[in-house]
């Protein structure tokens, strides 16, 4: 099943009132929803303090991850003897950040794989395998095939850690086979736009002279396809509530927001995001600008925001009910961590399907939702600009 819209209008007509899901007062920590801010002035954890470093491969557990992969069998007629690989790596050895960080790293390495002429692969095993949720395309099969895995034995490998450090990565030339046949890189690289500009000549036409949003979306959709398992959850959420035909005619039937509050009683160590006290003003904005019977979806890292949205909108509120937490910190409870990871995939995909999207300008998770939005219209960005105030603007992305 490809990204398709048919489901929205078919499924949604069946009224379902099973929307009420009890809210457990347990909230673990955020941050699948943007672990670091999408901004040069990141203040999140010590990520900026990290230096790039080469990890001694003897201590890496890459083989264990490889063996965990469910290998997709493909027919490879030519055995590619001298194939070189560039692998986006997120294992349990070090932090990789939230979904926003990971997406940036993946897109950056995708671009660099074109520059360095290496076959692009993705290994995300922490906290849980990504493969049940995203699947590759034929053009870019980022899962190691059986044949490739066989060929990997005895290959020279190297693992580089560039989490929180952009610059050297982009200026390196990893072309030489001397460097390594299999190059594993951990990164949450922010500057994929700069990579695309600097190496425009190495990139296909669809990635040349494009803005940040286009580069992200064109790359992402070329190799990351949500699986039926993931899409079916999005369909389920979208089938909640009642679709008002007038709202639908206006093209603003489903209004969505991602409110990243950050630091709060739930997340004492997080950065300061959108001011909680200003949340009712977002509801006012929605009331004043969109149809009174539009459905509402709010992804948030703060339970109070969710409670407020539910009490305000009642049955118009269709979600989210996801629990969110820090993927790197939840490795001790895999059940929890995996369901949180799943929720992040579901919520972001849901946000990208909305008619109207209000996103937080300092969250990678949020920004990428806007990049992936099916139509680049009715997009609004919000940003805290005082202890109880925010700016909100209609945004054109390209």
Ligand X SMILES: *[C@@H]1O[C@H](CO)[C@@H](O)[C@H](O)[C@H]1NC(C)=O
In the chain, what is the greatest distance between 2 CA atoms, to the nearest angstrom? 64
Nearer to ligand X, 179 or 336 (CB): 336
Site string for ligand X, 26-65 (x = CB under 6 A): ----------------------------------------
Q: Is 177 in the site for ligand X (CB under 6 A)?
A: no
On whether the CB atoms of residues 32 and 330 are closer than 8 A, the answer is no
Interface with ligand X (CB under 6 A), residue from 275, 336, 338, 377: 336
Nearer to ligand X, 294 or 341 (CB): 341
Interface with ligand X (CB under 6 A), residue from 10, 335, 388, 396: 335
Q: Is 22 in the site for ligand X (CB under 6 A)?
A: no
**Window contacting ligand X (CB under 6 A); options: 77-85, 203-211, 213-221, 329-337:** 329-337
Task: Please report which residue ranges of the chain form alpha helices under DSSP H.
Answer: 6-11, 62-68, 99-115, 146-152, 167-171, 192-198, 212-223, 228-238, 245-249, 279-289, 303-313, 334-352, 364-372
Nearer to ligand X, 143 or 160 (CB): 160
Interface with ligand X (CB under 6 A), residue from 15, 117, 208, 209: 117
**Window contacting ligand X (CB under 6 A); options: 207-215, 218-226, 275-283, 383-391:** 383-391
Q: Is 386 in the site for ligand X (CB under 6 A)?
A: yes
**Window contacting ligand X (CB under 6 A); options: 13-21, 85-93, 282-290, 381-389:** 381-389
Tell me which residue of 359, 362, 394 sits closest to 377, measured CA to CA: 394
Nearer to ligand X, 137 or 175 (CB): 175
Tell me which residue of 297, 284, 307, 311 sits closest to 258, measured CA to CA: 297
List, in order, residues 6 or more apart from 33 with CB less than 8 Å away: 98, 99, 100, 258, 260, 299, 300, 301, 324, 344, 347, 363, 365, 366
| Site size toward ligand X, by CB under 6 A | 11
On whether the CB atoms of residues 286 and 397 are closer than 8 A, the answer is no
Tell me which residue of 350, 381, 99 sits closest to 259, measured CA to CA: 381
Nearer to ligand X, 119 or 244 (CB): 119
Q: Is 388 in the site for ligand X (CB under 6 A)?
A: no
The Cα 140–Cα 333 span in angstroms is: 33
The Cα 120–Cα 111 span in angstroms is: 9
Kind of pairing between the strands at 379-384 and 356-360: parallel
Q: Is 194 in the site for ligand X (CB under 6 A)?
A: no
Nearer to ligand X, 31 or 254 (CB): 31
Nearer to ligand X, 13 or 385 (CB): 385
Nearer to ligand X, 189 or 254 (CB): 189
List, in order, residues 6 or more apart from 338 with CB less than 8 Å away: 127, 128
Q: Is 115 in the site for ligand X (CB under 6 A)?
A: yes
Q: Is 173 in the site for ligand X (CB under 6 A)?
A: yes
Nearer to ligand X, 152 or 392 (CB): 392
Q: Is 180 in the site for ligand X (CB under 6 A)?
A: no
Q: Is 14 in the site for ligand X (CB under 6 A)?
A: no
On whether the CB atoms of residues 3 and 220 are closer than 8 A, the answer is no
| Strands of 317-319's sheet in order across | 317-319, 295-300, 254-259, 356-360, 379-384, 390-394
The Cα 230–Cα 129 span in angstroms is: 13
Nearest distance, CB of residue 348 and ligand X, angstroms:
22
On whether the CB atoms of residues 320 and 237 are closer than 8 A, the answer is yes
- Say how many residues make up the chain: 398
Q: Is 391 in the site for ligand X (CB under 6 A)?
A: yes
Interface positions with ligand X (CB under 6 A): 115, 117, 173, 175, 333, 335-336, 385-386, 389, 391
């Amino acid at each position: 099943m490809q990204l398709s819209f048919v489901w929205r209008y078919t499924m949604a007509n069946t009224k379902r009132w099973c929307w009420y899901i009890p809210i457990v007062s347990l909230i673990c920590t955020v941050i699948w929803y943007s672990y670091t801010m999408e901004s040069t002035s990141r203040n999140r954890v010590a990520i900026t303090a990290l230096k790039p470093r080469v990890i001694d491969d003897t201590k890496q557990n890459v083989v264990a991850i490889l063996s965990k992969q469910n290998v997709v069998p493909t027919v490879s007629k030519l055995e590619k003897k001298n194939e070189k690989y560039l692998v986006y790596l997120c294992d349990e050895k070090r932090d990789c950040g939230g979904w926003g960080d990971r997406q940036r790293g993946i897109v950056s390495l995708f671009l660099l794989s074109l520059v360095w002429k290496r076959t692009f692969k993705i290994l995300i095993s922490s906290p849980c395998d990504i493969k049940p949720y995203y699947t590759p395309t034929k053009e870019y099969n980022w899962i190691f095939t059986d044949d490739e895995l066989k060929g990997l034995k005895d290959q020279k490998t190297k693992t580089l850690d560039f989490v929180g450090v952009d610059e050297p990565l982009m200026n390196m030339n990893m072309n030489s086979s001397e460097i390594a046949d299999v190059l594993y890189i951990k990164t949450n690289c922010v500057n994929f736009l700069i990579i695309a500009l600097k190496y425009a000549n190495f990139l296909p036409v669809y990635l040349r002279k494009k803005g940040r949003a286009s580069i992200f979306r064109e790359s992402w959709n070329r190799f990351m396809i949500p699986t039926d398992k993931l899409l079916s959850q999005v369909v389920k959420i979208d089938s909640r509530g009642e679709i008002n035909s007038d709202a639908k005619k206006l093209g603003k039937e489903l209004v969505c927001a991602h409110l990243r509050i950050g630091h709060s009683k739930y997340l004492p160590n997080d950065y300061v995001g959108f001011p909680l006290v200003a949340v009712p003003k977002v509801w006012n904005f929605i009331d004043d600008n969109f149809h009174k019977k539009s459905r509402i979806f709010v992804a948030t890292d703060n339970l109070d925001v969710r409670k407020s949205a539910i009490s305000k909108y009642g049955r118009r509120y269709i979600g989210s009910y996801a629990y969110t937490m820090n993927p790197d910190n939840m490795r001790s409870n895999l059940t929890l961590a995996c369901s949180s990871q799943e929720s992040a995939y579901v919520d972001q995909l849901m946000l990208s399907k909305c008619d109207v999207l209000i996103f937080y300008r300092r969250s990678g998770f949020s920004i990428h939702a806007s990049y992936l939005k099916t139509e680049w219209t009715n997009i609004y960005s919000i940003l805290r600009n005082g202890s109880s105030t925010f700016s909100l603007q209609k945004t054109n992305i390209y």
